[in-house]
A = this chain, B = another copy of it.
């Protein structure tokens, strides 16, 4: 049985290790809003529990057991976010904080019932994949919108680092997961993009926003 703090540390490590990156003490502390010294203690504890492998001064890796536990947490977090948006009418910018609490409720039956109740969703409101009960996630061919060529047709697949202000900006511009756009122009000066939809007005996105949007190819 893991404590809430242990779970949050595990999840932070897992998040930092995405796409081959490393997980360092300082970054974990920053994510959790604590100090590096506190993290060091917890890394040792989770290593003793067999969930992490901590090489002092060289960062931390997940063991198989740790990977499994982290994926279960991610699954719970994203299922709850989906529930809040799809069933309770929350905005996608209002769910993270609450899911951060709900993910720690421990009941396998609850998790699996919720999953079934929601129809086994494969992506959460931010486009992030939801691991199934075996930890398997749907793989996709996604890349940052910022790197797309003018003329490409793409579908918005996910928001990379979904902060509330970013999500609110996207709401205001009417941009959401699943929408299909054509990259119509890129400004050389600031890298901003102009997007066009089949119908509806065009949208202009700064390079900063475009870097946060992950897209997949869309056939015309």
Q: Determine whether A107 belongs to the interface, using a CB cutoff of 8 Å to chain B.
A: yes
Size of the chain A interface, CB-CB below 8 angstroms = 19
**Shortest Cβ distance from A98 into B: residue:** B107
Are the CB atoms of B89 and A113 closer together than 8 Å?
A: yes
CA distance A109 to B85 in the complex (A): 12
Are the CB atoms of A107 and B113 closer together than 8 Å?
A: no
List residues of chain B with CB within 8 A of the CB of A98. 105, 107, 109-110
Q: Determine whether A114 belongs to the interface, using a CB cutoff of 8 Å to chain B.
A: yes
- Least CB distance from A163 to B in Å reads 19
Q: Determine whether A106 belongs to the interface, using a CB cutoff of 8 Å to chain B.
A: yes
List residues of chain B with CB within 8 A of the CB of A88. 110, 113-114, 117
CB within 8 A of A106: which of B94, B101, B104? B101
CB within 8 A of A94: which of B97, B102, B109? B109
- Least CB distance from A135 to B in Å reads 22
Are the CB atoms of B87 and A117 closer together than 8 Å?
A: yes
CB within 8 A of A107: which of B97, B106, B110, B114? B97
- Least CB distance from A2 to B in Å reads 14
List residues of chain B with CB within 8 A of the CB of A107. 97-98, 101
Interface string of A101-136 (1 = CB under 8 A from B): 110111101100110010000000000000000000
List residues of chain B with CB within 8 A of the CB of A113. 84, 88-90
4 further contact pairs, Cβ within 8 A, besides A101-B105, A105-B105: A84-B110, A87-B117, A88-B114, A88-B117
- A interface with B by C-beta (< 8 Å): 84, 87-90, 94, 97-98, 101-102, 104-107, 109-110, 113-114, 117
List 14 interface pairs A-B (beta carbons < 8 Å), by A numbering. A87-B117, A88-B110, A88-B113, A88-B114, A88-B117, A90-B109, A90-B113, A94-B109, A101-B104, A101-B106, A101-B107, A102-B102, A102-B105, A105-B105
